[in-house]
């Protein structure tokens, strides 16, 4: 184990040293790239100021960078490694060479983190990358024009093999040293362990002997005060425990033998008991710790003997009682069915009465509604008659006004005729000059007389109209009185019909309650009939179950041992005969 631990420690140290050296080389590579990038920018700025792009061509100042190997070779000569100038993602100047030895002009920057960072986001990129199948520590910077747009990329890189070659050399030397040191330490540990663990081997042999049951040997080294002494004293305790365990095993063997005897005896008597023999008591002497088991078994057997005897006797009494219960239940079921049929007929009759009363109530309600409509119609007729009387009064008033107007027109016609006569007189005085005026005066006089005649006729007609209006008002008044009498009569009829409808509804409600009560009685009777059927079936099932119980009880052998049980059996038989003379059915009235 120590050798394995030393090997593991050496391996862990080598792995840690490898990680440290490679991390240090990576840091140096990153620092070297930053320095190389500054030199590359310095060389580019020496060639010109400001970058611009014209199609696929890239210029710095007035210097064309496409195919300009002097710039990238100058960078390589100053810092080593490789340098490349891109127009967007295409190499236009580089000292990276392909497998055929030619410069990799026209190849493109492959998609990846560097491409996304520089051309996608316009950021610089530092890391490792693969160029034409070789790993490089790479640095990419975007080349921007005067407007800040990325128009190209400047790359400097160093092969990772240049950095890690020295690391591999150091690792090989350290690995050789670690192997030598590990071998020397392992040899020393093995020698020391052999000397140290010699007493432990002896202790192992002692424990093997104790495990084989040899407790007569003495344990060496118990007087020592080191770890070996503690182990020896622990083994001595183990030896004492073994001796105690051996004694306990011997005692357990004796206990097991006694227990087997008890179990076998109880098993034999339980076998007799399972065969139905209730007279098999345990007479064999048991050890003291199992005496209670023997007493409990015999006591339980005697109680079971008494129980089976009682069950057999009670089963006979129950069989008789259950038969009587079944017969009484069947009689009760027949009477219940007869009552149920009578209730059904009564319920049907009550239902018919309820239907007729409901129809009468509905008819009365409709008659009341018709009476309401008649009252409303009469009321409307009276309102119309009243409006007619008022309208005729207004017509009479208007006729009086018209009479005044006609009288005025009559007066105007009379005056017009007088004026026409005066005009005719004056025209006669005027001679021939007034002849035309006289003709007009005659016409006016004729019209005035015509107007007087028409006014008289209108007055006569108006007088007749007023007389007719008075007659019509009297007739309408009589009609209103008749409608008032009709309204009073209809109101009385309405009250009588409302009373009849209310009485019919009350009777219908009462009949409905009676029908519901009869329905509940019918339902209860049906339920009682079902319960009686169930009771009868249960009684028949009980009789069958009791028969089976008696058959099962008869399989047991209940001849009691000669221990005073005979007298008890006789007394119990007398009790059974006394109880058998009474039936639970005898307590139930026959009329039930």
| pLDDT tens by residue, 102-160 | 898 999 988 889 899 999 999 999 888 877 777 888 899 999 999 999 999 999 988 87
Mean of the pLDDT values across residues 377-398? 79
Is residue 588 very low, low, confident or very high in pLDDT (cuts 50, 70, 90)? very low
- Check residue 143 and report its DSSP letter: E
Please name the fold of domain 202-242.
Helicase, Ruva Protein; domain 3 (1.10.8)
pLDDT for 64 equals 93
Domain 294-554 is of which CATH architecture? Orthogonal Bundle (1.10)
d(CA 497, CA 475): 33
d(CA 122, CA 151): 10
Q: Is it the case that residue 220 has pLDDT exceeding 80?
A: no
Please report how many Cα atoms fall inside a 13 Å half-sphere around the Cα of residue 545, on the Cβ side.
8
Q: What is the mean pLDDT of the chain?
A: 76
Count of beta carbons in the 10 Å neighbourhood of residue 493: 16
pLDDT for 301 equals 75
Of the candidates 27, 23, 41, 28, the residue with the CA atom closest to the CA atom of residue 156: 41
Class of residue 466 by CB neighbours under 10 A (exposed 0-12, middle 13-18, buried 19+)? middle
Q: What is the pLDDT of residues 529-546, one digit of tens each?
A: 778 778 777 777 877 777
Please name the fold of domain 2-188.
Beta-Lactamase (3.30.450)
Asked if residue 217 lies in contact with residue 188, where contact means CB atoms within 8 angstroms, the answer is: no
Q: Which of 18-27, 200-209, 554-563 has the highest mean pLDDT?
A: 200-209
Specify the DSSP element, H or E, that contains 138: strand 134-144
3-state helix, strand, coil in the chain (%, to 5): 75, 10, 15
Percent of the chain with pLDDT over 90: 10
Taking the CA atoms of residue 225, residue 231, residue 235 and residue 240 in that order, the dihedral angle to the nearest 10 degrees is: 50
pLDDT for 565 equals 44
Domain boundary assignment for the chain: 2-188, 202-242, 294-554
Asked if residue 156 lies in contact with residue 43, where contact means CB atoms within 8 angstroms, the answer is: no
Mean of the pLDDT values across residues 74-95? 90
Hey, is 323 helix, strand or coil?
helix
pLDDT for 145 equals 92
Q: What is the pLDDT of residues 239-278, one digit of tens each?
A: 677 777 777 777 788 788 878 878 888 888 788 777 777 7
Q: Is it the case that residue 585 has pLDDT exceeding 70?
A: no
pLDDT for 169 equals 64
Q: Is it the case that residue 86 has pLDDT exceeding 90?
A: yes
């Amino acid at each position: 184990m120590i050798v394995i631990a030393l090997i593991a420690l050496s391996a862990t140290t080598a792995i840690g040293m490898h990680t440290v050296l490679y991390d240090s080389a990576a840091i140096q590579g990153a620092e070297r790239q930053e320095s190389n990038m500054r030199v590359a920018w310095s060389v580019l700025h020496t060639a010109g100021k400001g970058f611009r792009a014209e199609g696929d061509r890239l210029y710095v100042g007035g210097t064309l960078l496409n195919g300009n190997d002097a710039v990238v070779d100058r960078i390589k000569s100053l810092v080593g490694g490789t340098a490349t100038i891109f127009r967007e993602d295409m190499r236009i100047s580089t000292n990276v060479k392909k497998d055929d030895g030619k410069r990799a002009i026209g190849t493109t920057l492959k998609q990846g983190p560097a491409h996304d960072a520089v051309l996608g986001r316009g950021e610089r990129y530092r890391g490792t990358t693969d160029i034409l199948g070789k790993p490089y520590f790479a640095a990419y910077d975007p080349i921007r024009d005067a407007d800040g747009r990325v128009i190209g990329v400047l790359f400097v890189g160093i092969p990772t093999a240049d950095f890690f070659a020295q690391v591999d050399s150091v690792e090989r030397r350290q690995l050789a040293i670690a192997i030598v040191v590990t071998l020397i330490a392992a040899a020393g540990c093995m020698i020391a362990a052999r000397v140290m663990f010699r007493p432990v081997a002896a202790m192992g042999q002692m424990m093997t002997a104790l495990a084989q049951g040899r407790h007569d040997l003495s344990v060496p080294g118990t007087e020592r005060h080191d770890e070996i002494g503690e182990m020896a004293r622990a083994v001595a305790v183990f030896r004492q425990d073994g001796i105690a365990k051996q004694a306990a095993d011997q005692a357990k063997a004796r206990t097991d033998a006694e227990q087997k005897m008890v179990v076998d005896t109880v098993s034999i008597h339980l076998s007799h008991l399972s065969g139905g023999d209730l007279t098999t008591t345990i007479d064999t002497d048991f050890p003291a710790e199992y005496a209670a088991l023997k007493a409990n078994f015999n006591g339980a057997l005697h109680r079971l003997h008494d129980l089976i005897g009682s069950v057999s006797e009670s089963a006979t009494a129950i069989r008789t009682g259950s038969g009587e219960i079944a017969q009484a239940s069947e009689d009760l079921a027949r009477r219940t069915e007869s009552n149920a049929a009578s209730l059904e007929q009564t319920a049907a009759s009550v239902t018919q009465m309820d239907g007729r009363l409901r129809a009468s109530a509905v008819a009365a309600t409709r008659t009341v509604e018709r009476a309401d409509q008649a009252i409303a119609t009469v009321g409307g007729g009276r309102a119309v008659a009243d409006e007619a009387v008022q309208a005729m009064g207004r017509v009479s008033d208007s006729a009086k006004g018209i009479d005044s107007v006609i009288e005025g027109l009559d007066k105007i016609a009379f005056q017009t005729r007088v004026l026409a006569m005066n005009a005719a007189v004056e025209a006669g005085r005027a001679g021939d000059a007034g002849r035309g005026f006289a003709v007009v005066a005659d016409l006016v006089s004729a019209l005035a007389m015509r107007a007087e005649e028409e006014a008289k006729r209108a007055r006569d007609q108006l007088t007749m109209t007023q007389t007719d209006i008075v007659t019509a008002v009297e007739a309408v008044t009589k009609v209103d009185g008749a409608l008032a009498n009709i309204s009073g009569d209809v109101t009385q009829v309405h009250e009588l019909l409302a009373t009849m409808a209310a009485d019919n509804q009350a009777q219908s409600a009462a009949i409905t309650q009676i029908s519901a009560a009869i329905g509940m009685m019918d339902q209860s009777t049906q339920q009682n009939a079902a319960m009686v059927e169930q009771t009868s079936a249960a009684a028949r099932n009980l009789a069958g179950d009791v028969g089976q119980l008696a058959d099962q009880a008869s399989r047991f052998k209940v001849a009691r041992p000669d221990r005073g049980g005979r007298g008890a059996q006789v007394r119990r038989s007398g009790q059974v005969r006394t109880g058998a003379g009474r039936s639970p059915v005898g307590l139930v009235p026959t009329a039930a």
